[in-house]
Amino acid sequence: MKKLLITICIALTACAAPKECCSQNFKKYFKFATFYAAANGGNSISDVDVFSVTNGLETVTVETPYDYNLALGIRKIARFGYENRASTFYDGTEESWSDGANVGKVRGLEFLFEVDYKRQQGNEYLDQHHFIRFVDDKYILKGEYLEDGFADIKYVETSERYRYKVNDKLSFNAGLAQRLSEPYGYDPLAEWMLSNGNIHYTYLALQEGYNVNVAASE
Domain boundaries, the chain: 2-44+62-185
Alpha helices in the chain (DSSP H): 2-15, 22-30, 201-207
For residue range 88-132, list pLDDT tens digits in order: 666 666 677 666 676 777 788 888 899 999 988 888 889 999 999
- Going across the sheet that includes 153-165, the strands are 34-42, 67-76, 108-120, 123-135, 139-148, 153-165, 171-181
**Does residue 6 carry a pLDDT above 60?**
no
Half-sphere exposure of 166 (CA within 13 A, CB side): 5
Q: Which of 64, 126, 73, 133 is nearest to 104 (CA)?
A: 133
More confident residue, 57 or 4: 57
First to last CA, the chain: 56
> What is the model's pLDDT at position 129?
92
Element (H, E) at 123: strand 123-135
For residue range 154-173, list pLDDT tens digits in order: 999 999 989 888 888 888 88
> What is the model's pLDDT at position 88?
62
**Size (the chain), residues:** 218
> What is the model's pLDDT at position 4?
45
For residue range 12-51, list pLDDT tens digits in order: 455 544 555 555 666 777 777 888 888 888 887 777 887 7
**Does residue 144 carry a pLDDT above 90?**
yes
Q: Which of 93, 97, 95 is nearest to 116 (CA)?
A: 93
Amino acid at 89: F
Taking each helix axis from N to C terminus, what angle separates 2-15 and 22-30, rounded to the nearest 10 degrees? 110
Average pLDDT, the chain: 77
C-alpha separations of 18 from 5, 15, 26, 57, 213 in Å: 21, 6, 13, 76, 81
Amino acid at 150: F
- What's the mean pLDDT in 190-218? 72
In percent, how much of the chain has pLDDT > 90?
Answer: 12
Identify the weakest region by mean pLDDT among 52-61, 161-170, 178-187, 195-204. 195-204
Q: Report whether 137 contacts 156 (CB < 8 A).
A: no
- What's the mean pLDDT in 187-191? 73
Q: What is the dihedral of CA 207, 210, 213, 214, to 10 degrees?
A: -60
